[in-house]
Chain A
Amino acid sequence: MMRDWQSHRDNFLSEILSVEGPPQDKSCGNCGRTEQAIYRCSDCFYSGLLCLDCCLKDHIRHPFHHIKVWTGQYFSPTTLHRLGYILHLGHGGLPCPISGEQGERDSKASKGTLIVVDIRSIHSHSVSWCRCPGAPSRPAQLLRMHLYPASIQSPRTAFTFQLLEYYHLDSVECNTTPLSFCNKLRRLTNKYNPDAVPVSAILLVLLNLDSQEHRIDIGN
């Protein structure tokens, strides 16, 4: 089997390297514009280029995707946060009409930064909370979007449900300790400088959450 593969290795190698570069078609895959079509999403099934507007629009419902930007020589990792993405809560990814009306005046009160720990990395997002009359509390807004808040009063860190389920199975099946799991997330977030990811607080919260989730699961 390995001997069969050896004759194909060079082909595989050049195919793998060719997807690292920009595609032949330099226009945006959505709107067809060629100017500023320099973004590419590593998580979408579509691997072509996108312009900034289409990239932000495409990711309204995919806030935890990883974006790369073409620098002229290579695709450099960037984040949706850096491209000006705002994570809207309470309206299925769309802006809250009340927050929109009040606009700039209250922008500081209704927006903030939220750290979201997902299965593939730790994200920082500008978040816009729902301010409709009778809007649920901030932890409830997070829970409705399948995000588990790390604290109750004014949550600034949240974990995706997917991550908590994954962590549970990882600890049961692979005996992963919280520290190893956090180190893995650190390396996933920043492959070249994992120590730059501020994860110590997240570890403490994760340990605490683990016991909370367990209590919820066993109905205690």
Chain B
Amino acid sequence: MRVSQQWENIQAHIWHGYGHDLDKTPDNGGLVEFCAACAQPGINLPSDWRTQKDQ
């Protein structure tokens, strides 16, 4: 289990472009896959979502 978690983490670094440049470190959320179903400002949220009171 521990090894599979380590392997997944290493693969995530490679997939997100942190493999060859070891000086570059991922930001917060830098290893997370883009989720089209989650609320994404500018993509699937109205432009005034911050000011809408009832939501």
Q: Which residues of A contact B (CB under 8 A)?
A: 1-2, 5, 9-10, 12-14, 16-17
Instruction: Provide the residues of chain B in CB contact with A5, threshold 8 Å.
Output: 6
Q: Which of A1, A9, A14 lies in contact with B9, CB distance below 8 A? A: A9
B10 within 8 A of A: yes
- With contact pairs A1-B2, A2-B2 given, residues A14 and B10 touching in the complex (Cβ less than 8 Å): no
**Complex Cα spacing A13 to B20, Å:** 9
Q: Report the 9 A-B pairs with minimum CB-CB distance, sorted nearest first.
A: A10-B22, A17-B19, A13-B10, A5-B6, A13-B13, A12-B10, A13-B19, A16-B10, A1-B2
Chain B residue, CB-CB nearest to A10? B22
**Complex Cα spacing A9 to B8, Å:** 12
Chain A residue, CB-CB nearest to B11? A16
Instruction: Provide the residues of chain A in CB contact with B14, threshold 8 Å.
Output: 13, 16-17
**Complex Cα spacing A194 to B2, Å:** 29
Instruction: Provide the residues of chain A in CB contact with B20, threshold 8 Å.
Output: 17
Instruction: Provide the residues of chain B in CB contact with A13, threshold 8 Å.
Output: 10, 13-14, 19, 22
Whether B2 and A14, one on each chain, are in contact in the complex, defined by CB atoms closer than 8 angstroms, is: no
**Complex Cα spacing A37 to B9, Å:** 34
Given A5-B6, A12-B10, A13-B14, 14 other A-B contacts at CB below 8 A? A1-B2, A2-B2, A2-B5, A9-B6, A9-B10, A9-B13, A12-B6, A13-B10, A14-B22, A16-B10, A16-B14, A17-B14, A17-B19, A17-B20
